[in-house]
């Protein structure tokens, strides 16, 4: 519903990749109002929720704009302009789509070299056929699943930047777990003190 609201995200918005994140602040305000702040599991997760919200809004917005285009856009027939594309995402290819056979053929080659087909090898084959995972998303796992959630995948970020990202995410997860444990301990101590006071009385 929010993705379809032209007052929040106009359908003539430029390339989503160039959209200033602050433009989504009004949308985020509406989403924030639905978060139950009394739930301890929701504490400290707003940044992650915002990331998932932006990914889902982008997905729904693209679907909505494609539907409107299909219903109302009338292309110019036989126009030379239709042959030109200024979008850097448009790449020339031979028209063939990757299929199951592509993966199986590469697995056979690995076995012929005497190697075992492990999960790591399959991830390498997948990246070779489909390309590396991009934008901190993992194909086949749905929205909201990031690189850190699926170990062993091949991503577009390599080397130290990727390791730092994983370490940062692991640190944040540990920090959240510690905070939750401390909150639980404080609650238990409070309950124990209340019971002791009642017993005294």
16 within a domain of the structure (yes/no):
yes
Residue 22 lies in a domain: yes
Q: 166 CB contacts (<8 Å, ≥6 apart)?
A: 147, 148
User: What percent of the chain shows pLDDT beyond 70?
Assistant: 81
The per-residue pLDDT for 92 is 46
Residue 44 counted as domain residue: yes
Inter-residue contact 129 to 102 (CB < 8 Å) = yes
pLDDT band per the 50, 70, 90 thresholds, residue 91: very low
Q: What are phi and psi of 159, to 5 degrees?
A: 65, -145
List the single range of 40-44, 62-66, 80-84, 178-182 with lowest mean pLDDT. Answer: 80-84
Q: Is residue 13 part of a domain?
A: yes
Residue 193 has pLDDT above 70, yes or no: yes
What is the number of domains present in the chain? 1
CA distances from 64 to 7, 22, 137, 172 (A): 14, 21, 21, 35
- With respect to residue 141, please indicate whether it lies within any of the assigned structural domains: no
Give a yes or no: residue 121 inside a domain.
Answer: no
Which residues, in sequence order, are CB contacts of 159 under 8 Å at separation 6+?
none
Identify the domain containing residue 3 by its residue range.
1-73
User: pLDDT of 7-40, one tens digit each?
Assistant: 888 887 766 767 777 778 888 899 888 888 788 8
Question: Are 145 and 133 contacting, i.e. CB atoms less than 8 angstroms apart?
Answer: no
Residue 8, in any domain of the structure:
yes
Return d(Cα 102, Cα 188) in angstroms, integer: 57
Please, which residues have CB within 8 angstroms of residue 178's CB and are 6 or more apart in sequence?
A: none
Reported as a single tens digit per residue, the pLDDT across 103-140 is: 888 888 888 988 888 888 888 888 888 888 887 788 87
pTM of the model: 0.46
Residue 156 lies in a domain: no
């Amino acid at each position: 519903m929010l993705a379809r609201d032209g007052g929040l995200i106009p359908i003539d918005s430029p390339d989503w990749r160039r959209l200033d994140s602050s433009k989504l602040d009004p949308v985020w305000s509406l989403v924030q109002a639905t978060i139950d702040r009394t739930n301890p599991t929701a504490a400290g997760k707003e940044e992650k929720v915002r990331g998932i919200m932006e990914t889902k809004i982008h997905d729904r917005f693209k679907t909505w704009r494609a539907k409107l285009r299909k219903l109302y856009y009338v292309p110019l027939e036989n126009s030379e302009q239709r042959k030109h594309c200024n979008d850097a995402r448009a790449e020339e290819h031979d028209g063939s789509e990757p299929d199951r056979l592509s993966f199986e053929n590469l697995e056979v080659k690995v076995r012929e070299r005497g190697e075992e087909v492990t999960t790591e090898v399959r991830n390498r084959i997948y990246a070779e056929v489909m390309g590396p995972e991009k934008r901190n998303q993992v194909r086949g796992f749905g929205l909201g699943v990031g690189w850190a959630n699926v170990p062993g995948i091949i991503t577009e970020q390599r080397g130290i930047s990727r390791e730092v990202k994983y370490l940062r995410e692991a640190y944040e997860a540990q920090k959240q777990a510690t905070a939750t444990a401390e909150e639980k301990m404080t609650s238990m101590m409070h309950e124990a003190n209340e019971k002791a006071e009642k017993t005294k009385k």
